[in-house]
Amino acid sequence: SMRHPMTRTTNRSEYELPGPPAPRRPFARYEPTPYRIVNLMLTLAEVGPEDVLYDLGSGDGRIPITAATEFGAHAVGIEIDAKRVALARTNAVKAGVSERVTFIQQDLFEADFSAASIVTLYLLPRLNQLLRPRLLCELRPGTRIVSHTHSMGNWRPRRTRQIVDGLGWCHRVYLWTVGDSGRASMPRSSGRKSK
């Protein structure tokens, strides 16, 4: 049976708010990004050895590991599922990049990704929207944000690329850059000139 948000009690007060919410579960089912798309995302973001890439919802670790092996970057994967974190760590050791790649078991909404120069995403549209305020507030100007498949609502991407996989599915990759004002590339408001 469903509990009413306000539960009548007899001891402390007439009404009592329910306790803390249950721990947040993974929002999206696990669907790994195909390696062709991983390479497209990293190429579009112009990943290099000076970059620190954060992958939010890192799964088996393929994006951070590829950023390290193919592009020389340091990378951090944030993943809520402990089994996938363990798998990603094993994959990083096998790839010989465990000193350049770190995997953290954590809810991406509680993670600190402010050190990123690049953030990669393959989440649901609603999650991208929920992340927008943090991305704008916490990332430094010049940070690149790359998303596989889903946009950021009315944020205007700097670049968009498409690729058709072997099954005929069209994959879209979006790139935004946090601007000098600390805002991502967004539609200009009417009547205002941008500097």
Report angle CA 136, 137, 139 to the nearest 5 degrees.
Answer: 70
Q: In the prediction, which pLDDT does 9 show? A: 41
pLDDT at residue 185, rounded to an integer: 53
Please state, for a pLDDT cut of 90, what percent of the chain lies above it: 57
The whole-chain average pLDDT of the chain stands at 82
Q: Is the pLDDT of residue 159 over 50?
A: yes
Per-residue pLDDT at 92: 98
Beta-strand runs (E) in the chain: 7-8, 15-16, 52-56, 74-79, 101-105, 118-121, 144-148, 159-164, 170-177
Higher pLDDT, 68 or 15: 68
pLDDT tens digits along 129-142: 899 999 999 999 99
Q: What is the pTM of this model?
A: 0.78
Distance between CA atoms of residues 72 and 13, nearest Å = 60
Higher local confidence (pLDDT), 31 or 171? 171
Residue 66 has what DSSP assignment? H
C-alpha to C-alpha distance for 181 and 174, rounded to whole angstroms: 20
pLDDT value at residue 184: 59
pLDDT at 65: 98
Residue 189 has pLDDT above 90, yes or no: no
